Structure 1
Amino acid sequence: MPPLSALRPAMRANRQVRRETVLSNKLRVPISAYVVDCAVYADGKRLPGRWTHERALAEVRARTDDAFVWIGLHEPDEEQITGIADVFGLHELAVEDAVHAHQRPKLERYDDMLFMVLKTVCYRGRPADGAEHEIVETGEVMVFLGPDFVITVRHGDHSSLRDVRRALENDPEQLALGPAAVLHAISDHVVDSYLDVTAAIEDDIEDMETRVFAPRSTVDSEQIYVLKREVLELRRAVVPLGAPVRKLTEGYSSLVPHDVRSYFRDVDDHLVTVTERIAGFNELLTTLIDAALAKITLRQNTDMRKITAYVAIISVPTMIAGIYGMNFDYIPELHWSLGYPMVWLVIIGSCLALFRVFRRNQWL
């Protein structure tokens, strides 16, 4: 197999062909349409003014202090992100992942750049009767981390980083730690949202548990299965993130200095808590499904016992009526004047006796 360095020219050529094809089929959309914010930070403070990505990078590299650029993008297409990728020297494979999304949480190193993928989650609540929507909605945040820049690419409407940026700008000491501080703030924000979602799901599971074990309750096992499926989707978003965060705490790259690594340990602790919660949810929901199925089976057995008891009671008059309906001449007491009421007394007495027996045995 040829080395990666030999394949890169062909990859660039293919990418250029795709760009030309797209441009021939649609009007070019400006990069600014996908840029949520572009800012230059120096000494923990945001520099005033509006910046393009070219001017921002030129300003940062012309300064002698620890300045960096933070560009936020929302669902850019390949053509729009290519302009930024060429200016900042982003790797082609990472750019392709950022455009097409649907990636697993991961951390990759390309020369002097880190590329991290985080899954975002949002709790939408259990759907009402007749309505259909996801309980947990997922999105993605991709982060390109370089020595003097941070580029975030978001997919999904719920994954806004506006509050993260505002909180960092209000904390100059933290922001002065450089681009790695932004990566930590984003990771911390995403993992904190996991805690919020798991807390909401825990309330749903407790409510479901109460309904399952309440007497004479009717809980459809399909409702529990839907909740279990959403928990599994949350698990796919959370569990794979453990290894990337752990790498950042262990000095995986010099782009994350020692002062920032200690903050990632706190993120890792929260992530472990979320992972343990999800594992507990999965086991509890499995138990609730088994309990709901057992309750349905018990209800069916109870119904069958009731049906059997009533059939036994009805069989008494049916049998007597069948015997006396044979039209034989010498049936006992057939011509006795008290025969008819006597038969009714036998029928009623037998039925009442059977009813008392079944009631005593809790069949009725």
Structure 2
Amino acid sequence: MIKAFVVDNDRLRLADDLVANGDQVVWADLLNPTKEEETTIETWLGVAIPTREEMEEIEISSRLYIEDGAYFMTATLPAQTEIDDPLMSPVTFVLAGPRLVTIRYHEPKAFKTFPLRAEKVATGCTTGNTILIGLLEAIVDRLADILERAGRDIETISSDIFEARSTKVNKRNRDFQELLKAIGRKEDIASSIRDSLISLQRLTGFLAHVATQIKMSKDVRARIKTVSRDVLSLADHATFLSQKISFLLDATLGMISIEQNAIIKIFSVAAVIFLPPTLVASIYGMNFDVIPELKWELGYPFAIGLMILSAILPFWYFRRRGWL
């Protein structure tokens, strides 16, 4: 699908047809383009656009390059960020003179919010350069929102880890399992956003170089520098969240270890307490003909009392030492 935008009274307006309004179109947005649509864009733009396989190349040289006078920049952006499993996919920005082409195979939210705002408000996005800057600013704002929401969720997880837990072991085990799953999901989000910010950091650095080459206005270069600084600060924040998630994971595993040690401790104490009574019962359970207490009338109460006493003494000793 191709969405073509033209400038109308300092605002962006969606054009009915790219071919019919080819001279006026300043931004063409391709979503899941077909071969025919790719051919149409290449004819209109005058340069070949990258395929999906080329967009997914990891090397920087394959994502940021100049060809036939056009500047190609690819960044990894998230979509479906309302859920804990965002879809990460590359988006390519092609800047050719006053025209901008974006190629994508998923729907980051910024590609919905930015055109709506640019249609209603005069944002100064009248050329490919300014549209690209405005789009990058919307993307960075969206990533900031995602990190802010992830930070709130991480604070909630932190409170759940260290608050008083249920007295039922089964309930506590289920709680820890859910916490581990939640921590894993937040780590996926944080790492995905961090990867996206790293790609944007490279893109803005390349774009700053391009702005110097083609002598963009001072205002545009200042906006590029601001976006680059915002990306860098968000990358630092994403790194901080990842470190905090690692701490919460270690804390959760530590709490689980404490729970397991407490259970093992109970069994160990029980074994030690019942060991002396078992020894007494074993002694008086031996089948020898001559046992001094065998014919004693108080032998049975004496043996029972001795077993009870031998169980109480270790328990009292453990309590006195603070082991229980």
* TM interval, short-chain normalised: 0.7 to 0.9
Given the superposition, is the C-alpha separation of residues 230 and 39 from structure 1 closer, same or farther in structure 2, using an over 3 Å criterion? Answer: closer
Q: Quick one: distance in 2 between partners of 1:150 and 1:258?
A: 20
Which of these residues, 214, 217, 228, is aligned with residue 257 of structure 1? Answer: 217
Residue 84 of structure 2 corresponds to residue 118 of structure 1: no
Q: Which residue of 2 aligns with 1:19?
A: none
The one-letter code of the counterpart of 2:141 is D
Q: Deviations over 1:148-193 (max 9, x none)?
A: 32222232134462321232233436124x2111001111111111
Which of these residues, 306, 331, 339, is aligned with residue 291 of structure 2? Answer: 331
The one-letter code of the counterpart of 2:34 is D
The one-letter code of the counterpart of 1:248 is L
Which of these residues, 243, 246, 253, is aligned with residue 205 of structure 2? Answer: 246
Q: Quick one: distance in 2 between partners of 1:85 and 1:309?
A: 78
1:225-244 → structure 2 map (5 Å cutoff): 225-244=184-203
Q: Which residue of 2 aligns with 1:320?
A: 280
What is the Cα deviation at residue 124 of structure 1? 3.0
3-state DSSP of counterpart to 1:108: strand
3-state DSSP of counterpart to 2:88: strand
Indicate if the aligned counterparts of 2:11 and 2:124 stay in contact, CA closer than 8 A: no
Given the superposition, is the C-alpha separation of residues 275 and 143 from structure 1 closer, same or farther in structure 2, using an over 3 Å criterion? Answer: same
Q: Which residue of 1 aligns with 2:50?
A: 95
Given the superposition, is the C-alpha separation of residues 256 and 244 from structure 1 closer, same or farther in structure 2, using an over 3 Å criterion? Answer: farther
Which of these residues, 176, 182, 189, is aligned with residue 219 of structure 1? Answer: 176
Which of these residues, 31, 35, 44, is aligned with residue 74 of structure 1? Answer: 31
Which of these residues, 226, 236, 244, is aligned with residue 276 of structure 1? Answer: 236
What is the Cα deviation at residue 46 of structure 1? 5.1
Indicate if the aligned counterparts of 1:248 and 1:261 stay in contact, CA closer than 8 A: no
Indicate if the aligned counterparts of 2:74 and 2:203 stay in contact, CA closer than 8 A: no
Q: Which residue of 2 aligns with 1:359?
A: 319
Indicate if the aligned counterparts of 1:169 and 1:175 stay in contact, CA closer than 8 A: no
Q: Deviations over 1:212-268 (max 9, x none)?
A: 333445423454334323322222211122122133335344174332111122211
Indicate if the aligned counterparts of 2:176 and 2:256 stay in contact, CA closer than 8 A: no
Q: Which residue of 2 aligns with 1:302?
A: 262
Q: Deviations over 1:267-321 (max 9, x none)?
A: 1122112101111122122222222222222222222221111011111221111
Q: Which residue of 2 aligns with 1:208?
A: 157
Which of these residues, 9, 14, 18, is aligned with residue 53 of structure 1? Answer: 18
Residue 2 of structure 2 corresponds to residue 39 of structure 1: no
3-state DSSP of counterpart to 2:21: helix
Which of these residues, 91, 95, 102, is aligned with residue 152 of structure 1? Answer: 102
Q: Which residue of 1 aligns with 2:66?
A: 109
Q: Quick one: distance in 2 between partners of 1:256 and 1:90?
A: 21
Given the superposition, is the C-alpha separation of residues 193 and 360 from structure 1 closer, same or farther in structure 2, using an over 3 Å criterion? Answer: farther
The one-letter code of the counterpart of 2:275 is S
Which of these residues, 26, 40, 55, is aligned with residue 83 of structure 1? Answer: 40
Q: Quick one: distance in 1 between partners of 2:10 and 2:257?
A: 64
Gaps of 5+ in 1: 1-33, 61-67, 127-133
Q: Which residue of 2 aligns with 1:291?
A: 251
TM-score normalised by L of structure 1? 0.76
Q: Which residue of 2 aligns with 1:192?
A: 141
Residue 307 of structure 2 corresponds to residue 347 of structure 1: yes
3-state DSSP of counterpart to 2:305: helix
Identity %: 23
3-state DSSP of counterpart to 2:293: coil
3-state DSSP of counterpart to 1:184: helix
Q: Deviations over 1:310-360 (max 9, x none)?
A: 011111221111111112222232211111111111111221222222334
Q: Quick one: distance in 1 between partners of 2:41 and 2:12?
A: 21
Indicate if the aligned counterparts of 2:110 and 2:139 stay in contact, CA closer than 8 A: no
Indicate if the aligned counterparts of 1:211 and 1:219 stay in contact, CA closer than 8 A: no
Indicate if the aligned counterparts of 2:97 and 2:128 stay in contact, CA closer than 8 A: yes
Q: Which moved more, 1:265-274 or 1:189-198?
A: 265-274
Q: Quick one: distance in 2 between partners of 1:189 and 1:337?
A: 94
Given the superposition, is the C-alpha separation of residues 148 and 120 from structure 1 closer, same or farther in structure 2, using an over 3 Å criterion? Answer: same
Q: Quick one: distance in 2 between partners of 1:328 and 1:249?
A: 98
Q: Which residue of 1 aligns with 2:169?
A: none
